[in-house]
Chain A
Amino acid sequence: MPHLIDGRDMVPPEPLEATLAALESLADGDEIVLLLYCQPHPLFAILRREGYAWREETRADGTREFRIRKA
């Protein structure tokens, strides 16, 4: 079951803090689902450097859904 982080009503950098905390315990094959209204470029930079991959989808209400897993 994916770990869901709804960051839409969080103030930066709370969504990043929550995601980084979740990454620490992320097992191989598991996913983190992050919901935001913006593109978290600071997080992308960290994910790229630390060897994680992500997929992005935009929902009808403008919410961006990011699915993060180990690369």
Chain B
Amino acid sequence: MHPNLSFEQAPPIDVPVRFLLTAPWFGIAAGLLVAWSGELAIASRWTPQALAIVHLLVVGFLLQAMSGALFQFVPVAAGGNVWRPRLVAGILHPALALAACLLVAGLYAVDSWLLRLAAGLFLAAISFQVLVIGSALMRTPARGPTIAALRLALAGLAATVALGATLAEGLGGGHAWPIVGLTNVHAAWGLGGWVLMLVIGVSYFVVPMFQLTPPYPGAFATWAPRVLVVSLGLWSLQLVAPGVRWPIALALLVAAAYAGTTLWLQARRRRNVSDATFLFFRGAMLSLLAAVAVCAASLLSDLPMLTWWLGVLALGGTFVSLVSGMAYKIVPFLNWLHLQREAGIGGVVPNMREMISDSAQKTHLRLHFASIGLLLAAGIEPAAAMAGGLVFALANGVFAWNLIGAARRYRTFRDRVRAVGASPGS
């Protein structure tokens, strides 16, 4: 079974692209903050610097990119009819960006007023997002593992934000919930129930299509999201029964199985194309396997470097890599399709590879993985954090530059196509 794309329901191109263009700026900020904070970012996951860096990546970089991808993916791949996408994106995009900035500022400055403000804004914005995207996903006639994973991912996002808002309230002294347990459950739902779940569901679709691999095995595709959500539900029991840690092993197994299966599929691809998307995906899957091993080790040991490595491998090595790799397919593909729509048959539309050059993509790729290597080294030699942070920021700067270049090229070609269409005798 191979996936199908429906382009007739696609939103205007600016809807997904505005989110994708914003994401790298949070990556730049995260890299600079790592460089600025040095050892304070590495010493513990509880320092204001570490909390701010993590949230720049998860509610800045990842939430922006994944929200943009959902606006495109739900109507096109899942057949869901999103209500007034331009209006919704016009509200959500600035609301999520502002909420992310407030949250990071609140965490860095340890300011409970800013944290509560950010939590309120996130609750409102994400509720709106879940309502609009969720209703599109519930009404679609399409069925299958991708749809199931997308629905679960949206539920995971809602759970993550609700837990995060509870944490913000607790940090402000608003209640007496166990902060450590609440943080563990919040982080697991965020990384597992939202980000990993969405990545798995989207991979079922895009890996066979863009990397020319066989499809994911049916049993894996059906069961991986179910096992993941059950394991997170059991992990959440620690809120009422402290010490319950074993369910996370199930979630780790799903993550390892997803990474292993994707690498296995990549090894069986029908055409030997090693473009930036393929390499970003391969690096991400190796990083995810390493993150699983480090997470398992961190359950048995209190070495502080394990937490740092887990953060670098899961957030930077896995999820930032995946988003970057996918963006290099999504953005040129959308440009090409929207230009083709304008030009019609016989119209001259530039090749997809002209939107972002292969060498520009690979420059980003090399800088990105070099930064991951340096950041991992910082777990042993904290002085490497400065270089790692700066290279991570530089990689995201190249990412932003590449995406802006693609947007400019789209406008130039679109104006040219329109000029030809409007000229006398055309």
Listed in ascending order, the chain A residues whose CB lies under 8 Å from chain B are 8-9, 11-13, 16-17, 20, 23-24, 37-42, 44-46, 49-50, 62
Is B40 among interface residues, defined by CB-CB distance under 8 A? no
CB pair B271 A11 closer than 8 Å: yes
The interface centre, meaning the residue of A12, A23, A24, A39 with most chain B CB atoms within 10 A of its CB, is A12
CA distance A8 to B212 in the complex (A): 8
> Of B3, B340, B345, which contacts A38 at CB under 8 A?
B3
* Cβ-closest chain B residue relative to A26: B345
CB pair B212 A11 closer than 8 Å: yes
> Of B3, B8, B210, B212, which contacts A9 at CB under 8 A?
B212
> Of B1, B7, B212, B352, which contacts A45 at CB under 8 A?
B7
CB pair B2 A13 closer than 8 Å: no
User: CB-defined interface of B189-213 with A at 8 Å, one 1/0 digit per residue?
Assistant: 0000000000000000000111010
- In the bound complex, residues from chain B placing their C-beta under 8 Å from that of A46 are 340-341, 344-345
The A contact surface, by secondary structure, is helix
> Of B8, B273, B333, B351, which contacts A12 at CB under 8 A?
B333
* Cβ-closest chain A residue relative to B211: A11
Is B346 among interface residues, defined by CB-CB distance under 8 A? yes
CB pair A45 B8 closer than 8 Å: yes
Interface positions of B from 249 to 306, Cβ below 8 Å from A: 270-271, 273
> Of B209, B337, B345, B346, which contacts A42 at CB under 8 A?
B337
* Cβ-closest chain B residue relative to A14: B352
- In the bound complex, residues from chain B placing their C-beta under 8 Å from that of A11 are 210, 212, 271, 273
Q: Closest CB of chain A to B303's CB: distance in Å?
A: 43
A16 with B340, Cβ < 8 A, contacts A24-B345, A45-B8, A46-B345 known: yes
> Of A20, A37, A41, A44, which contacts B345 at CB under 8 A?
A20
CA distance A42 to B209 in the complex (A): 14
User: CB-defined interface of B83-123 with A at 8 Å, one 1/0 digit per residue?
Assistant: 00000000000000000000000000000000000000000
- In the bound complex, residues from chain A placing their C-beta under 8 Å from that of B340 are 13, 16, 20, 42, 46
- In the bound complex, residues from chain A placing their C-beta under 8 Å from that of B208 are 37
CB pair B271 A9 closer than 8 Å: yes
* Cβ-closest chain A residue relative to B1: A62
